[in-house]
């Protein structure tokens, strides 16, 4: 804190934005099945909304199939309904206490739409990183104004924050490129 800001704290906050971005991307459908696709699905269970993973076990045993093993037989209907209404374009097949969800092939238009969504997530992550940068810069300006640090220290710390911001934005771009390639792969 001698330089006016804690760079480790800033890096941790920026890294949090990247982690949230990666979690968002995990929920995007690619050409292969992933249990993460169903993470945003909320089920009306026992009088409240619950994540699907709290009433069932979700897995992807095959590249084009997701299975949902529901623990309570009375929850089969609500889980089926929640998946259908989640806007994921998935149609579960009920098999006793299990749901089999075959993943149809993505057409070119849907792939491009998913890439646009991924780019939106990336932009949100970049905005979050820039907010952390702005907060750090405001802290530096205040510390300099209050004579807690000198002008040279403020400038040096400011340069470090800018460099860190650039690194984090580059990391977001590289994660996006990997996901975009994964989505467009036929």
What's the pLDDT band for 129 if we cut at 50, 70, 90?
A: very high
Whether the per-residue pLDDT at 98 is higher than 80: the answer is yes
pLDDT of residue 171: 95
| Average pLDDT over every residue of 93-103 | 89
Average pLDDT over residues 71-96: 87
What pLDDT, on the 0 to 100 scale, is given for residue 130? 95
Q: Domain residue spans in the chain?
A: 7-26+107-184, 35-102
Nearest CA among 14, 1, 3 for reference residue 135: 14
Q: Is residue 83 predicted with pLDDT exceeding 60? A: yes
Point out which residues pair with 97 in neighbouring strands.
Answer: none
Positions of E strands within the chain? 42-45, 48-51, 56-62, 65-70, 93-95, 98-102
**pLDDT reading at 186 higher than 70:** no
CATH superfamily placement of domain 7-26+107-184: Ribosome-recycling factor (1.10.132.20)
Q: Are strands 48-51 and 42-45 parallel, antiparallel or unpaired?
A: antiparallel
Q: What are phi and psi of 30, to 5 degrees?
A: -115, -165
The pLDDT of residue 3 is above 70: no
| For range 36-41, the mean pLDDT | 82
Contact 103/33 with Cβ under 8 angstroms? yes
Average pLDDT of span 148-155: 87
Give the tokens for residue 159.
């340069």
pLDDT of residue 183: 82
Task: Provide mean pLDDT across the span 13-20.
Answer: 93
Confidence of residue 4 (pLDDT cuts 50, 70, 90): low
Residue 113 has pLDDT above 90, yes or no: no
The confidence score (pLDDT) of residue 1 equals 42
Cβ-contact 67, 61 below 8 angstroms? yes
Which CATH code fits 35-102? 3.30.1360.40
Per-residue confidence (pLDDT) for residue 2, from 0 to 100? 44
Q: Which two tokens stand for residue 70?
A: 């529901």
């Amino acid at each position: 804190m001698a330089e006016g800001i804690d760079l480790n704290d800033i890096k941790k906050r920026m890294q949090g934005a990247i982690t949230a971005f990666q979690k968002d991307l995990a929920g995007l459908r690619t050409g292969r099945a992933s249990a993460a696709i169903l993470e945003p699905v909320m089920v009306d269970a026992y009088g409240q909304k619950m994540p699907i993973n709290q009433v069932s076990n979700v897995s992807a045993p095959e590249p084009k199939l997701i299975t949902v093993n529901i623990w309570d037989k009375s929850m089969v209907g609500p889980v089926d309904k929640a998946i259908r209404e989640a806007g994921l374009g998935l149609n579960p097949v009920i098999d006793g206490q299990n749901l089999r969800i075959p993943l149809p092939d993505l057409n070119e238009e849907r792939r491009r739409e998913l890439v646009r969504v991924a780019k939106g997530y990336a932009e949100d992550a970049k905005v979050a990183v820039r907010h952390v940068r702005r907060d750090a810069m405001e802290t530096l300006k205040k510390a300099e104004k209050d004579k807690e640090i000198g002008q040279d220290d403020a400038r040096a710390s400011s340069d470090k924050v800018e460099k860190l911001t650039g690194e984090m934005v580059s990391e977001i771009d590289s994660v996006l490129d990997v996901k975009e390639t994964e989505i467009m792969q036929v």
